[in-house]
């Protein structure tokens, strides 16, 4: 990932989103397995939707905090190679919507159920 081997902080930032996507995909797969088996479990489906939203928000929040911390790390910001990588990671975080689409459906489901007595 990094041209210079990367600092552990930068490597961690670069890995968090793909790990989250994998985790969310596994949660969605649980639901799909129940659906394929024609097992209706309302509460398990809601739990899965909440798990998806929780995983996504935690990943976005943690990644943001990691980026802020990396920008305060003098070793990173004083090294042009690492700084360039950090800026690239930040741009990717801000412009690449890989996590949000995975939890929009869950938010819609939760929103519609919130008003259902």
Return the sign of the alpha-carbon dihedral for residues 9, 13, 18, 19: positive
Q: Residue 28 above 50 pLDDT?
A: yes
Q: Residue 106 above 60 pLDDT?
A: yes
Q: Residue 78 above 50 pLDDT?
A: yes
Residue 92 phi, psi dihedral angles, 5° rounding: -65, -45
DSSP per-residue letters across 56-110: HHHHHHHHHHHHHHHHT-HHHHTSHHHHHHHHHHHHHHHH--SSHHHHHHHHHHH
Question: What is the share, in percent, of the chain residues with pLDDT greater than 90?
Answer: 45
Q: What is the rounded end-to-end Cα distance, in angstroms, of the chain?
A: 50
Q: What letter would DSSP give residue 18?
A: H
Structure confidence at residue 4 (pLDDT): 43
Q: What is the mean pLDDT of residues 48-59?
A: 91
């Amino acid at each position: 990932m990094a041209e210079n081997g990367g600092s552990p902080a930068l490597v961690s930032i670069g890995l968090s989103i793909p790990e989250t996507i994998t985790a969310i995909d596994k949660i969605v797969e649980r639901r799909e397995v129940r659906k394929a088996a024609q097992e209706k479990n309302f509460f398990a489906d809601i739990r899965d939707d909440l798990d998806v939203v929780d995983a996504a928000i935690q990943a976005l929040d943690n990644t943001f905090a990691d980026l802020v911390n990396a920008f305060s790390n003098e070793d990173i910001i004083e090294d042009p190679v690492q700084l360039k990588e950090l800026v690239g990671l930040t741009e990717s975080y801000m412009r690449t919507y890989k996590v949000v689409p995975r939890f929009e459906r869950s938010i819609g489901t939760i929103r519609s159920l919130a008003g259902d007595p």
